[in-house]
Amino acid sequence: MPYVTVGKENSGDISLYYEDHGSGNPVVLIHGYPLSGAAWEKQTAALLAQGYRVITYDRRGSGRSSQPTTGYNYDTFAADLRKLITHLKLNNFTLVGFSMGGGEVARYIGKYGSKGVSKAVIVSGVPPYLLKASDNPEGVDGSVFEGIAKAVAADRYAFFTEFFKNFYNTDVFLGKRISEEAVRASWNLAAGSSAFASLACVPTWHEDFRKDVAKIDVPTLVLHGDADRILPISASGERTAKLIKNAVYAVIKDGPHAITWTHADEVNAKLVEFLGKGIAKRAASGRSK
């Protein structure tokens, strides 16, 4: 199993587990809370079938990566991603972030620029800024995040059970677009994450990404479900799309937060189309020279 070392905590290395499959133009898939790279299985299969090199990894504290008690902030998350990209010597790659992973996409480009990045995709993402403030009246009241943190600290396993109901809108889609077994698999991934990370990640959800998003200068696809109960589309996807010049904005009708599973066919079609357009444009540019 491949790992990349991204730091140290006392006597131990902090290492990220990653998977690197296929060939062609690289696509880096960045998962959401409280899952791991395994949550991308439907997108991985679709992208491999289209001839892409697909790279997934587990954020620190998640999946098979190290579970330190340090580094749960977006500057560190972006630095971890940078080390993985450098380790793999990637170029002309696409960054795809789901939920929390959308924050990595924004902070990575905001901090390191877009050199080597061909495209960006933000799916059900946390950007641009979720916290209600004097300059961000559309945001969510801070008490909501405080309540979530208290619930996680009290009994994260019970919290995950309730969380996934709204993650997948199970009252609408259970037995139709998602099975009880698939929900249980997500719960198992969450339960296997670090207890420390489960709590430490919560305040990162209301990071201010507005300056980062404004620096995204590569073709970008913003995908969001209009029935997202975790990150309402009006506070996140809709605003992100407006802040990125010439962004392609696609709304998944009746889509919950986890459209990557419940509406995988629609998401995959839009993702493949977006990536393919980029290839077509580069090919046409090459022929014209």
Q: What are phi and psi of 283, to 5 degrees?
A: -65, -45
3-state per-residue secondary structure call for 187-211: HHHHHCCCHHHHHHCHHHHHCCCHH
Which residue matches tokens 């972030």? 97
SS3 call for 103: helix
Phi–psi pair at 164, nearest 5 degrees: -70, -20
Tokens of 257: 């937060």
Q: Check if 99 is active-site.
A: yes
257 assigned to active site? yes
Local structure of residue 97 (DSSP, 8 states): E
Of 65, 66, 99, 118, the catalytic one is 99
Q: Please pick, among 31, 206, 224, 257, the residue that the annotation labels catalytic.
A: 257
Instruction: Find the length of the chain.
Output: 289
| Residue that has been written with the tokens 């924004």 in this structure | 106
Q: In what order do the strands lie in the sheet with 220-225?
A: 3-9, 12-21, 53-57, 26-30, 93-98, 117-123, 220-225, 248-252
Q: Which of 224, 228, 236, 263 is catalytic?
A: 228
Q: Are residues 237 and 125 in contact, defined by beta-carbon separation less than 8 angstroms?
A: yes
Name the nearest CA neighbour of 104 among 89, 85, 91: 85
Q: Looking up tokens 């630095």, which residue turns up?
A: 79
Distance set, CA 276 to CA 94, 261, 279 (Å): 12, 21, 5
Helix H or strand E encompassing 20: strand 12-21
- Can you tell me the distance from the alpha carbon of 276 to that of 64, in angstroms, rounded to the nearest whole number? 32
Query: Which residues are annotated as catalytic?
Result: 99, 228, 257
